[in-house]
């Protein structure tokens, strides 16, 4: 309706708009053969109606699934219906800083525009000209982030390279750097130095500055190493039990491509 019916029509009034839209639905959207299914939607619905079941209980929905986009002000607040609501310090990143707001019963739920991470929750103010401020939003939390980065850096064999990597992630994903760091810390658990170093070098070399990318890369290298160890164990077992076989054939291994091969294909 938005990209077809409304694209080349002039809005006169709501009544005329609805009347013309219903005619368009009957004539074109539901009355003509669909390009993908090659069927007429109205005819298909006539068949499907036989299988629909009535809903006897009223569906209760306390919240709307529709979120509204609001611009963040320099003081890290957003104006909603004549009032202001605070968001965490640092949410404002310039004139193009926006958040999504969902109205849930008597509360406003505020989410980051890009990551959809929840930033704040405020009770809806019924009057006008008020400020709803969460004291925690005004606290500078960079000191805690610095300590967390320092802690995770020590988990890497190469501290300087790790610090450079984490600092870049912090710069690019400042709003949710804590979540990024926790994902990386979790990914490093029970990983050996060689696997960690390979993953770090691959991410830096290919400019992959996100926790999810690092997690995927380190898991890939970890699985490859485990698979290699299992192959070595099986090879030794075969050599012991089947010493009459050709040792050269038993020692043969299939070639394993490095991730760089696939990366070059994507880049070309």
Closest CA to 68 of 44, 56, 85: 85
The residue extents of the domains of the chain are 14-51, 68-138, 142-267
First-residue to last-residue Cα distance in the chain: 39
The beta strands (E) that lie in the chain are given as 68-71, 77-80, 83-86, 98-104, 107-112, 118-123, 131-132
Report DSSP state, residue 4. Answer: T
pLDDT per residue of the chain (268 residues) written in tens, 0 to 9: 777 888 878 888 888 889 989 998 988 889 999 888 889 999 999 999 989 888 877 666 554 556 789 999 999 999 999 999 999 888 888 888 999 999 988 999 999 887 678 889 999 999 999 999 988 887 666 567 888 999 999 999 999 999 999 999 988 887 778 889 999 999 999 999 999 999 999 999 999 999 999 999 999 998 888 776 666 656 555 555 555 555 556 666 777 777 777 777 777 6
**What is the spatial distance between Cα 198 and Cα 71, in angstroms, rounded to a whole number?**
41
CB 122 within 8 A of CB 108: yes
Place of tokens 């992630």: 169
The beta strands (E) that lie in 52-198 are given as 68-71, 77-80, 83-86, 98-104, 107-112, 118-123, 131-132
**What is the spatial distance between Cα 84 and Cα 266, in angstroms, rounded to a whole number?**
46
pTM (2 d.p.): 0.40
Edge-to-edge strand order for the sheet containing 131-132? 77-80, 83-86, 131-132
H-helix or E-strand spanning residue 264: helix 259-267
CB 71 within 8 A of CB 60: no
Tokens of 250: 């038993």
CB 188 within 8 A of CB 217: no
**What is the spatial distance between Cα 104 and Cα 111, in angstroms, rounded to a whole number?**
13
């Amino acid at each position: 309706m938005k990209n077809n019916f409304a694209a080349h029509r002039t809005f006169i009034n709501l009544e005329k708009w609805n009347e013309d839209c219903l005619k368009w639905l009957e004539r074109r959207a539901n009355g003509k053969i669909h390009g993908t299914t090659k069927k007429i939607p109205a005819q298909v619905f006539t068949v499907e109606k036989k299988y629909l079941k009535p809903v006897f209980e009223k569906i209760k929905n306390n919240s709307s699934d529709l979120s509204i986009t609001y611009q963040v002000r320099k003081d890290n607040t957003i104006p909603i219906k004549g009032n202001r609501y605070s968001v965490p310090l640092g949410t404002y990143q310039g004139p193009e800083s926006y958040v999504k707001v969902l109205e849930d019963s008597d509360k406003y739920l505020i989410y980051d525009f890009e990551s959809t991470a929840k930033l704040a929750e405020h009770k809806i103010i019924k009057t006008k000209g008020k400020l709803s401020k969460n004291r925690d939003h005004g606290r500078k939390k960079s000191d805690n982030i610095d300590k967390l980065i320092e802690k995770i850096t020590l988990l890497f064999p190469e501290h300087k390279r790790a610090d450079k990597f984490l600092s870049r992630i912090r710069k690019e994903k400042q709003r949710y750097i804590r979540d990024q760091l926790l994902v990386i810390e979790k990914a490093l658990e029970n990983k050996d130095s060689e696997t960690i170093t390979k993953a770090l070098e691959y991410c830096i070399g290919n400019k992959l500055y996100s926790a999810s990318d690092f997690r995927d890369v380190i898991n890939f290298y970890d699985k490859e190493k485990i698979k290699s160890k299992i192959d070595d164990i099986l090879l030794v077992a075969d050599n012991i039990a089947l010493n009459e076989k050709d040792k050269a054939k038993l020692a043969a291994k299939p070639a394993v491509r490095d991730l760089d091969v696939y990366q070059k294909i994507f880049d070309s």
